[in-house]
Structure 1
Amino acid sequence: MEKRYDIAECNIRVDLSEGIIRVFSDAELWRFLDGKANERFELLIETIKSDYENVFQKPLNIANDSLIVEILVHVYCDYLGLAFNRIFKIKPIQKLVTKLLKRAEVVDCGERAKDTNRWVWDFLARFKSLFIKLLPANLNATNLKKH
Structure 2
Amino acid sequence: MPSEKTYELNGFSLPVVFKDGVIQINGPEDLQRFLSADIDNRTLVLVALIKSDYLLRTNQALAIEDDSMIVEIWGHVYASHFAEALKNLVQMHLIEQMADFIIHRADTIDCGERDKDNNRVFWDLLSNFKGLILEFLPNELKA
> Could you tell me the TM-score, scaled by structure 2's length?
0.91
2:32 maps to which residue?
30
> How do 1:32-47 residues align onto structure 2 when only pairs under 5 Å count?
32-47=34-49
Structure 1 residues 5-38: Cα deviation after superposition (integer angstroms, max 9, x where no partner):
0112211121110100112361211111112101
User: Secondary structure of 1:89's match?
Assistant: coil
Alpha-carbon distance between aligned partners in 2 of 1:120 and 1:96, rounded to the nearest angstrom? 22
1:56 maps to which residue?
58
User: Secondary structure of 1:2's match?
Assistant: strand
Q: Aligned to 1:66, which of 65, 68, 91? A: 68
> How do 1:1-147 residues align onto structure 2 when only pairs under 5 Å count?
1-24=3-26, 26-139=28-141, 142-143=142-143
* Structure 2 unaligned blocks of 5 or more: none
* Structure 1 unaligned blocks of 5 or more: none
Alpha-carbon distance between aligned partners in 2 of 1:107 and 1:36, rounded to the nearest angstrom? 20
Pairwise CA RMSD of aligned residues?
Answer: 1.4
Structure 1 vs Structure 2: percent identity of aligned residues? 35
Alpha-carbon distance between aligned partners in 2 of 1:13 and 1:135, rounded to the nearest angstrom? 24
Structure with the bigger RCO (C-alpha within 8 Å, sep 6+) is: 1
Q: Which amino acid aligns with 1:127?
A: F
> Could you tell me the TM-score, scaled by structure 1's length?
0.89
- Checking the alignment, whether the CA contact within 8 Å between 2:38 and 2:140 is kept in structure 1 is no
How many aligned positions are there?
Answer: 141
